[in-house]
């Protein structure tokens, strides 16, 4: 199974990983985009290693380690994580890995967001795709870097706060927690703002507390926003989902625009940016930038591993959110 585009950066005329991606992912070792095991072999090993079959079937992600030029499933440690097709019932379920991959590539290549390294791999028996990501909380010697997601930072748990604990704060409160924990807040909050805009732009309705983390930076003895992870266009799979996973503002606050329109528009994000302490001209520049990449996104989207039908759907939803993020000229 030869490819046309690099399964990570999507550069054309690459039948497998390009050299730059091999370096980034595997220290330059020639690892194939075809996994050395089949889907049934994967399922068997996962069940053996985890010692049980979970209610929802086989675990939806698993660790991998590099052994020579071969990726092996491992229970402990492991520098990589693979996510095969989810077993949850949703629309276009076989498009989930390609969706996450293209969305992460849009965030990093077009919007210059710091993201977890990511690519697509394929099972050797049926070439079913799975999403690959490289852990960013490990130092080269294998030791762990302190990483805390916002359920941990806000001390929320399922036992204490119920099954919706991942959705129990607003984006405004996440920014407040960032301010408390990071002395580089003025820089970090701009990254956070950009990330929220991207989530809205690409229709990720599931950016909850666990999908944002602070990572410890040894050099500065400080916490920073971690590389972005787990972002995809969820509307393709759940068309009825809410626009954002969390409220923008705390205490049920709504902008005048929201009260009239019932969905988030330019004005909401403008006000959010100011409330988070970002300078007005910076807020406006971010908002201008986010809607100005239509052409670049279309080019990258066309090279993605999504089906033609899903590419169209992705782009249709994108056009709707670009419209919503465009200020109404007065
Ligand atoms: Zn590449």
For residue 63, what is the DSSP state? E
Cα 27 to ligand 1 centre (Å): 13
The mean-pLDDT minimum among 24-38, 39-53, 116-130, 191-205 falls in 39-53
Nearest in space to 232 (alpha carbons), one of 68, 89, 97, 120: 97
pLDDT digits (tens, 9 = 90+) for 97-114: 999 999 999 999 999 999
pLDDT, residue 52, reads 57
Cα 24 to averaged position of ligand 1 atoms, centre (Å)? 9
Instruction: Say how many Å lie between the CA of residue 35 and the centre of ligand 1.
Output: 17
Q: What is the pLDDT of residue 165?
A: 95
* Distance of CA 257 from the midpoint of ligand 1 (Å): 43
**In this predicted structure, what is the pLDDT of residue 59?**
63
221 alpha carbon – ligand 1 mean position (Å): 33
Q: Distance from the CA of 16 to the center of ligand 1, in angstroms? A: 8
Neighbouring residues of 245: CB distance < 8 A, sequence distance ≥ 6: 167, 204, 205, 206, 207, 208, 211
Find the 212 Cα to ligand 1 centroid distance in Å. 26
Q: What is the pLDDT of residue 58?
A: 60
59 vs 64, residue with greater confidence: 64
Element (H, E) at 272: helix 266-275
Token pair for 327: 């200020």
Cα Rg, the chain, nearest whole Å: 20
**Which one-letter DSSP state was computed for residue 108?**
I
Q: Is the pLDDT of residue 56 over 70?
A: no
Q: Quote the pLDDT of residue 178.
A: 98
Tokens read off for 256: 């005048």
Instruction: Supply the pLDDT for residue 42.
Output: 93
Candidate ranges 48-52, 142-146, 194-198; pick with highest mean pLDDT: 194-198
Rounded Cα gap, residues 292 and 34, in angstroms: 36
Q: Mind listing the pLDDT tens digit for each residue in 133-147?
A: 999 998 878 789 999
Q: 160 C-alpha to center of ligand 1: Å?
A: 44
CA of 125 to the centre of ligand 1 (A): 24
The model's confidence at residue 83, banded by pLDDT at 50, 70 and 90, is very high
Joined together, the tokens standing for residue 16 give 């497998």
Report the pLDDT averaged over residues 228-254: 96
Q: What angle do CA 159, 165, 166 make, to 5 degrees?
A: 135
Q: How far is the CA of 227 from the centre of ligand 1 (A)?
A: 19
The CA 10 to ligand 1 mean position distance, Å, reads 6
Give the Cα separation of 51 and 43 in Å (integer): 12
Distance of alpha carbon 132 from the chain centroid: 12
* Joined tokens for residue 167: 């959705």
By the 8 A CB rule, do 154 and 68 touch? Answer: no
Average pLDDT over the chain, rounded to an integer: 94
pLDDT at 306 over 90: yes
Q: What is the mean pLDDT of residues 276-293?
A: 98
- Residue 13 Cα to ligand 1 midpoint, Å, equals 10
């Amino acid at each position: 199974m030869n490819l046309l585009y690099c399964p990570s950066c999507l550069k054309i005329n690459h039948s497998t990983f390009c050299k730059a991606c091999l370096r980034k992912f595997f220290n330059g070792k020639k690892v194939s985009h075809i996994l050395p095991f089949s889907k049934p072999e994967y399922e068997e090993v996962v069940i053996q290693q985890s010692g049980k079959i979970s209610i929802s079937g086989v675990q939806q992600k698993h660790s991998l380690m590099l052994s020579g030029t071969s990726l092996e499933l491992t229970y402990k440690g492991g520098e990589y994580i693979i996510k095969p097709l989810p077993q949850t019932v949703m629309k276009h379920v076989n498009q989930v890995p390609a969706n996450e991959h293209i969305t992460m590539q849009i965030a990093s290549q077009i919007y210059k967001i710091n993201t977890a390294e990511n690519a697509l791999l394929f099972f050797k028996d049926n070439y079913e795709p799975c999403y690959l990501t490289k852990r960013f909380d490990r130092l080269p010697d294998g030791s762990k870097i302190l990483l805390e997601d916002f359920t941990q930072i806000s001390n929320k748990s399922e036992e204490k706060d119920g099954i919706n604990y991942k959705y129990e704060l607003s984006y405004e409160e996440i920014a407040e927690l960032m301010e408390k924990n990071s002395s580089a807040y003025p820089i970090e909050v701009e990254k956070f703002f950009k990330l929220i805009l991207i989530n809205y732009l690409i229709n990720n309705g599931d950016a909850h507390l666990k999908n944002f983390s602070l990572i410890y930076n040894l050099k500065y003895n400080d916490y920073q926003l971690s590389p972005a992870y787990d972002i995809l266009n969820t509307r393709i799979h759940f068309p009825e989902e809410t626009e954002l996973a969390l409220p923008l503002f705390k205490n049920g606050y709504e902008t005048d625009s929201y009260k009239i329109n019932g969905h988030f528009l330019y004005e909401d994000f403008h006000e959010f940016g100011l409330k988070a302490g970002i300078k007005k001209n910076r807020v406006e520049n971010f908002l201008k930038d986010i809607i100005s990449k239509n052409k670049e996104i279309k080019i990258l989207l066309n090279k993605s591993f999504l089906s033609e039908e899903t590419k169209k759907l992705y782009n249709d939803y994108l056009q709707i959110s670009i419209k919503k993020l465009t200020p109404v000229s007065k």
